[in-house]
Amino acid sequence: MPLESREGDTSKARLCGVEIGFSYTITDSIRFNIDQGPFDFILVPLMYPGFVPTEDNDPNSRILDHRLLPYAGSDFNVSCNRWNKLAYGKISPWLDLDSEDETTRMDAEIILKKQIEWASYLSIKACVLPTPKGNCCANYARCVNQILQGPNNMKLLVRFPFGMSDDDYSPGSNDLVDSWKTWNSFRLLCDYHNQLMVVLDIMRVLPPENSQKRWYGEPVTAAILDSDMFLTKTRGNTLYLPKRHQKLIADFFDHDIRIIISGLKVLNEAQFTTEGSKPHPLLPYRDQVSNIYKQMVPPSEQERLEFGMRDFLQLPLRPLRNYTQAKSYDTWEKDKVKYINYEIAICKALRDRVSNEKASEIATVLVVVGAGRGPLVRSSVQAAKRAGRKLKVYAVEKNPQAAIALDELIRTNNWSSFVYIVSSDVRDWKAPERADILVSDLLGSFGDNELSPESLDGAQRFLKKDGISIPSSYTSFLQPLTASKLYKDAKEIKEILHSESACVVNMYNVDRLAPSQEVFTFTHPKSFVGESNQRYQKLCFMIPNDTGSAMVHGFAGYFNATLYKDVFLRTEPSTATPKLKTWFPMFFPLRTPICVESGSRLEVHFWRCVGYRKVWYEWCVTSPSSSPIHNCNGRSCWMDL
């Protein structure tokens, strides 16, 4: 029974589970909690809690007591398909794989492997591992890494506390236990294995908000909410969660993190039967979680369309090298906000260019650089009607296939008398007359990464000295990220993406560690034609004091563009144009992630390099530690001139 649906919602977070105690009759547990109950899956112990090694001090003769088998006979009562869909396995929480006592440590290793083998036999898709017992987890990570390298494809979810309990917290102290550091050490020891994930135990005292956000860039699968976290209202005797916990649960849902209600005390104390004659004792708790989900703003149509693209790495376009495909044009042309803003900008430029008195006499010469299938031509014609000005348009497009569609658009709308198609690279075209206005949408996700500067430089030679360029300028921005999934994907897909290749991505499970900063600015038309398009910028980001330690996996790239005067297109998050959907951010990965501390300085160097045949970016970090210079000489990613 998934949490109440919101229109068009396919989020995994709709599923709500329950942590239960050990039972030999797993069939009854599934029937009571799922088939007849309000939950979608169970977190179930795989071994009887009293199942421990014998007290034998001879390591060569020590064996496990096999009289108590975990869920003895349960595989006959529950099909493997149901185990796979309805259960997360819970590994014994008392295991201490880094104990200084050799007997304890060896026993823990044996039992961990036996429980994983049992889970694999039952076809369980994921097992929740116990929280590391101390800050040092090297042997624990070694054992887990051995399992991850094995033949099964099971996900291993390490359990970590999220905040502190009341008993561990001292009023006036900000010394919250930073479990993220332990997790970071654990996953580094396991080399970022893609089947190693996290389950968070939500505690009474939550960490600061910036500290919470670090986990949104990590592979968090679920969060466990104990029934003790709920409070009871004096009037009505109804349950509720503190406001900070409500917001946290909503944020978890927004990041596709499932909620597991741990009601062991309630379930143990409740008197119930498995016949469904009484309501499930945890139903009120589940209803409170459901209410939080229902009160969230439903995803927009655009967000629903983009669900499948979240955190999916894509190589950026190379428009001067490859012809654009029809499906890309289809996507771009659906962005109404983009073309409305272009129309407004062109309308203002036309009015500034020609006075009302001469509107019927002078035809403004407008060149569309990279006309594609004609959306900017359409915006230009509509702007001319809106401004009451005459127009003569040269639509320059080097893609011969797009020019066919462009010709059809012109003939269909009877624009042939004033719109002329030029099937050519704008840098090679010999214009019959100089233009009053240049219009282009050659901007990439990082502003200049699709060679807009080079293309418009080539077009500037036929722009009048007092001519107008739309856009008139654009500035790129950079922002440090925690993005574990993006880093792992870039690292693993070696045949497509090198670990230092910049790519386009709809960022979702990331944490933006500091406000973005300006990198490069380009202005058109140039005041000096010979000005170089090479750039270099050093940036210094300050990590907020309440963030805690964090890992920088790479950088997000955005841009802000001025089309004309006060008309803008912006993708930088703090100033982004609402409902603009053409551009996803760029992701510039680090080959080796860098750990930063609260209040520390992150110093980044970024270059835009221009050669005879190509343009490329290089980047590196010099503080708090130094990284290699990435993409040296454009060896991994570049733009062809």
3-state secondary structure 406-457: HHHHHHHCCCCCCEEEECCCCCCCCCCCCEEEEEECCCECCECCCCHHHHHH
Q: List domains and CATH numbers for the chain.
A: 12-299 (3.20.20.150), 326-441 (3.40.50.150), 475-640 (2.70.160.11)
Q: What angle, 0 to 180 degrees and rounded to 10, lies between the N-to-C axes of helices 375-387 and 336-353?
A: 50
At residue 52, the pLDDT reads 61
* Dihedral angle of Cα 92, 93, 97, 101, to the nearest 10 degrees: -100
Indicate the helix (H) or strand (E) that contains 378: helix 375-387
The answer to whether the pTM exceeds 0.95 is: no
In this predicted structure, the answer to whether residue 323 has a pLDDT above a threshold of 80 is no
Q: Quote the Cα angle for 489-491-492, to 5°.
A: 65
Q: Are 210 and 544 in contact (CB under 8 A)?
A: yes
Q: Which of 215-224, 273-282, 306-315 has the highest average model confidence (pLDDT)?
A: 215-224
Phi, psi of 378, deg, nearest 5: -60, -45
DSSP 59: T
| Tokens representing residue 329 in the block | 């044009």
pLDDT tens profile 378-405: 999 999 999 999 999 999 998 888 888 8
* Two tokens, residue 442: 């050659």
| CA–CA separation, 154 and 566 (whole Å) | 54
- Determine how β-strand 517-523 pairs with β-strand 567-570: unpaired
Mean pLDDT for all residues in the chain: 87
Q: Which residues of 166-199 are buried (b: 16+ CB within 10 A; e: fewer)?
A: eeebeeeeeebbbbbebbbbbbebbebbebbbbb
Q: Rg of the chain over CA atoms, in angstroms?
A: 30
Tokens read off for 70: 């975990």
pLDDT in tens, 348-389: 999 999 999 999 999 999 999 999 899 999 999 999 999 999
Q: pLDDT for 422-465, tens place per residue?
A: 998 888 899 999 999 999 999 999 999 999 999 999 899 999 99
Higher pLDDT, 279 or 170: 279
**626 within 8 A of 598, measured Cβ to Cβ:** no
* Among 502, 527, 530, residue whose Cα is nearest residue 589: 502
Six-digit token string for 435: 């233009």
Contact 447, 475 (CB under 8 A): yes
